Amino acid sequence: MSEKITVLVGEHCDFIALGLAALLERQGFTIAAVAKSAETVISLIEEKAPDVALLSMRLPGLKDSEAIKKLRCIAPQLKIVLIAELENTDDAYEALMARAEGLCFKDMDSAQLSSVIRGVHHGGCWIDRRAATQLMNFIQKPPTIPAPVTPPPKVRSGGLSDREREVLQLVVEGLNNSSIATKLCLSIDTVKSHKKRIFEKLEVKDRTEAAVKAIRTGIVQLTTVH
């Protein structure tokens, strides 16, 4: 028997929202609700308590970062996957800063979207490779104003050991603790210990913040992000 995962769909366009809901039901998910605004998303998540929220960015009502902050308060265990417009660097950057577990583009196929939702539900994180490329280009682009700019300190290893960097790389790739343990031939407790030290050294709170910092500072190579 397949695992039951409940999903709330947030999309302001009825046609797209109903299409997403029907698609996900065919993939074996249970649709908790469909919402057209950020306020409705927040209200329904509090009422329905879904496992995953699949949200189009720029829903009417609130900025994405503000909406996600509220969702984190009322539903700490909720996993959030954002769907951005293709080639929108601002969307990609805001999604990661808002600590969403997943970032997809609207041209993603149904099988891949299903895989992303299941992955984040099991503790992984996922960012479209194209979004990662956009973010790196955005971060590395020289300033356009003629004022002197002090570049941020370069972080190559973040003070991490070789093994910690291997674990962090797999975290960025979206693997959960069990998969990381299998791939590196470690126990799950050892993986958890490595992650705890990684979070402390990078001064982050969770795997999403760690993934964002790893990408921004170059600790993890861009080619490892899926």
DSSP per residue over 171-216, as a string?
Answer: HHTT--HHHHHHHHT--HHHHHHHHHHHHHHHT-SSHHHHHHHHHH
Which of 3.40.50.300, 3.40.718.10, 3.40.50.2300, 2.60.40.10 would CATH assign to domain 6-136? 3.40.50.2300
What per-residue confidence (pLDDT) applies to 196? Answer: 92
What per-residue confidence (pLDDT) applies to 55? Answer: 92
What per-residue confidence (pLDDT) applies to 122? Answer: 92
pLDDT in 10s for each residue of the chain, 226 residues: 467 999 999 998 988 899 999 999 999 999 999 999 888 999 999 999 999 999 988 788 767 677 888 888 899 999 999 888 765 556 666 666 667 888 888 888 888 899 999 999 998 888 877 766 666 665 555 555 555 555 544 445 668 888 888 898 888 877 888 888 888 888 888 999 999 999 998 888 888 888 888 887 878 765 434 4
For 22, residues 6+ apart whose C-beta sits below 8 A from its C-beta are none
Q: Where exactly are the structural domains of the chain?
A: 6-136, 162-224
H or E stretch covering 65: helix 64-74
162-224: CATH class: mainly alpha
Give the span between the Cα atoms of 34 and 12, in whole angstroms. 9
What per-residue confidence (pLDDT) applies to 8? Answer: 97
